[in-house]
Structure 1
Amino acid sequence: MSAGCARRNEVAPTVDRWPVAPPILEEIYTMEDALAFGGACISLLDHADRVRVACLAQLVNVIAPIMTKTGGGAWRQTIVFPFAHMSRFGRGRILHARVETEACYVSYNNPDGTPAGTFPAPDVPYLKIAAVAEQGGGLSLFLLNRDLKQEMEVSVEARSFGPLTVHERLELRHDDLMAANTENTPDKVKPAPLQSVAFARGRLRATLKPASWNVIHLAPHREDEGPANTAPKDQS
């Protein structure tokens, strides 16, 4: 997660001066955090041959994807969406995707925590992707566009899967990377349909917006659906 996470400030109720259920580490996560979280999920899938088990330890309030308020409501933080998408669509056999994409130069902080400056990372790909083949013949794609300014045209070859139909396509993004969901604005950051998607003759084409998390689920085509579609149905 990003180092700039905010925290809620609430006064805990007390009984005889002892705090009752005090707010602890109630981090507020932004759109930027959702992108970082999604990228971490992709890394876990892409290394599933070595990472056998991974979990989200905290679920409510404490550094968590779901927030509640005493006597009030509950709302989803930005990071809940990549987690929910992975849980729903990331089930099956992980494929090794051969990716050709432009790269950028970045630097990262010293991983051991000492103030020794930063280290260069000269060839970081703008596109990060994980592909999961379902047992029933479907294909799920998780795509992260790390370019902060430019849209990305993506082409995926999936001819070995037979006839497929775009079943769902979702996009998570916001113009403000610091945008966060709150009790008063619980849907400020939420998934929307990924508009520019087409599948024909075994090839998927999609346009990913800058700084966006994207999910495309291709399902086996059924005869009762008529000809395999090249444009998906709207999904909310």
Structure 2
Amino acid sequence: MKARATIHRDYSVAQIDNRLYSAFIEHMGRAIYTGIYEPDHPTANAHGFRNDVLDLVRELNIPAIRYPGGNFVSAYKWEDGIGPQDERPVRLDLAWRSKETNQVGINEFARWADDAGIEMMLAVNLGTRGIEEARNFVEYCNHPSGTHWSDLRRSHGVEKPYDVKMWCLGNEMDGPWQIGHMEAKEYGRLADETSKAVKAFGGGIETVVCGSSNDQMPTYPDWERQVLEECYENVDYISLHKYFGNSSRNSLNYFAKIEETGRYIQSIAGVIDYVKAKKRAQNDIYICFDEWNVWYHNREQDSKNWKSWDWPEAPELLEEDYNLEDAIFVGGLLNEFIRRSDRVKIACIAQLVNVIAPIRTKAGGPAWATTIYYPYQFASLYGRGTALNVAVDGPRYDAEVAQDVNYLDVAAVLADDGQSITVFAINRSPDEAMTLDVALHGFGELRLVDHQVMGGNSADARVANTCEEPERIVPRKGDKLSVEAGALKGELPAFSYSVIRLAVK
């Protein structure tokens, strides 16, 4: 199998927003408790957070993190998570049918995010609450002093405001499962007024309005149109959510779902442009893909569990054992975000620890990286700069969800200093290596700095990293690529994900 591609320094897509590599963590399952927070753990720091998890998180260089939900936020009282921990109420979480102890609230999470070097992106409850509660939450977090809520924060030991810039206006309000579900126009009006109230605090606040929960919703994409017609001039982003699976065990159809995602992004971009034109608006709205990941291995069983269990604390929920195939898929989805970085500015892998996550933990035991950790890490570390157009000429296939799909999935990023290029390349073929020839124009002389590869054997497709064997699937040094006469040439193994770093001499 042979494939060619062409990359030119002067033909770019967009400047990538670093927040494209953000994350999400929710009060759900073991994401918080025995995930990031476990005071009795051998590695716990003075504030009860697991240092082994923090070490793995820091290595991802995550720019921003969405918190505290998710479905959880639509019945959440943020005030339950402030003040002395031993005085906080225990609540029933209706979203995931479990008990919430509120031992971690905004101040604890802010401390963890600061330790991890991550900016917070907070969500307000627009399910059971409204403008007033959102306004109070922003005042508590962002106002310096001299008011009820800011002085209350100071009395809780936090003198300096958090100055949170990104605020999500509810979660999945199009979903009938959501507590406080609304019709599009009703939600659009509430989001408009809430955004105006939140932005009144100043400081460059940006707001994210809820788009469709996924592209299979019966209200999609008219939900986006109706919502944006109500609030277009007063919000900055519209959210998209999508989860992926391969229950049919058809790898090529699974990988083709990335093309389906591209259509999803393109459709919503079209809705944004339509509403902007209709309203004669001057501002631009971008996409915040603030929930995405692979979720299917345990989905059916988990659904049965949480609908029947008797309100446990921090139950095991959505703890996926990701395999090599999932890692290749996640790498491809990140490539799609890079290719669509003119419209997608923020994206959050959902979630970060234990719950459909790149990081897993055992209560009282070790933490480890799942297979999807590595493509996420590579994209976050080396996918910052300018997304370049890549013209691909190679073999294609047809799948159930998309036709004319390239076996070669590739994205390229020119670093901000112009001194390096990173190529993220996937050979989707389950059984055939790919001879690669990438013409590189306008860069001058180049040299190969590093090539890391995952996969190369479809027999490993269902192999996962586990607590007992945490390094079964990890990147390794590639040795079949070189730079010759202004071109990247060599071979990509079958069923593989590669990160190729080139330096401009």
Work out whether the TM-score is over 0.5. yes
Corresponding position of 1:159? 441
The within-5 A match list for 1:111-130 is: 121-130=402-411
Report how far residue 18 of structure 1 moved.
6.4
Rg (Cα) greater in structure: 2
Percent sequence identity is 37
Report how far residue 49 of structure 1 moved.
0.7
The CA distance in 1 between the partners of 2:405 and 2:441, in whole Å, is 28
Cα displacement string for residues 91-133 of structure 1 (whole angstroms, at most 9, x for unaligned residues):
111011011010012113xxxxxxxxxxxx3311100100111
The CA distance in 1 between the partners of 2:355 and 2:429, in whole Å, is 31
Corresponding position of 1:194? 478
TM score, norm. by length of structure 1 = 0.80
The CA distance in 1 between the partners of 2:441 and 2:330, in whole Å, is 30
Tell me which of 451, 454, 465 is aligned to 1:172: 454
The CA distance in 2 between the partners of 1:185 and 1:73, in whole Å, is 11
Unmatched 5+ stretches in structure 2: 1-243, 248-295, 302-309
Tell me which of 389, 395, 412 is aligned to 1:102: 395
Cα displacement string for residues 183-207 of structure 1 (whole angstroms, at most 9, x for unaligned residues):
1110000001111011122111121
Q: Is the 8 A contact 2:324 2:464 kept in 1?
A: yes
Which one has a larger percent strand, Structure 1 or Structure 2?
A: 1
The CA distance in 1 between the partners of 2:380 and 2:333, in whole Å, is 14
Cα displacement string for residues 64-83 of structure 1 (whole angstroms, at most 9, x for unaligned residues):
11000011101111111110
The CA distance in 1 between the partners of 2:372 and 2:387, in whole Å, is 22
Tell me which of 28, 47, 52 is aligned to 2:345: 52
Equivalenced residues, count: 202
Corresponding position of 1:34? 327
Q: For residue 156 of structure 1, what is the amino acid of its counterpart?
A: V
The CA distance in 2 between the partners of 1:62 and 1:205, in whole Å, is 39
- Alignment of 1:219 with 2:503, yes or no, is yes
Report how far residue 7 of structure 1 moved.
4.4
Report how far residue 25 of structure 1 moved.
1.1
Superposed structure 1 runs of 4+ greater than 6 Å apart: none
Corresponding position of 2:489? 205
SS at match of 1:64: coil
- Alignment of 1:78 with 2:371, yes or no, is yes
Cα displacement string for residues 194-221 of structure 1 (whole angstroms, at most 9, x for unaligned residues):
1101112211112111110011000122
Unmatched 5+ stretches in structure 1: 10-16, 109-120, 222-236
The CA distance in 1 between the partners of 2:246 and 2:388, in whole Å, is 32
Query: What's the RMSD between the two structures over aligned residues?
Result: 1.8
The CA distance in 1 between the partners of 2:350 and 2:482, in whole Å, is 37
The CA distance in 2 between the partners of 1:30 and 1:149, in whole Å, is 17
Q: Is the 8 A contact 2:350 2:356 kept in 1?
A: no
The CA distance in 2 between the partners of 1:58 and 1:185, in whole Å, is 22
Corresponding position of 1:91? 384
Which range is displaced more, 172-181 or 77-86?
172-181
SS at match of 1:27: coil
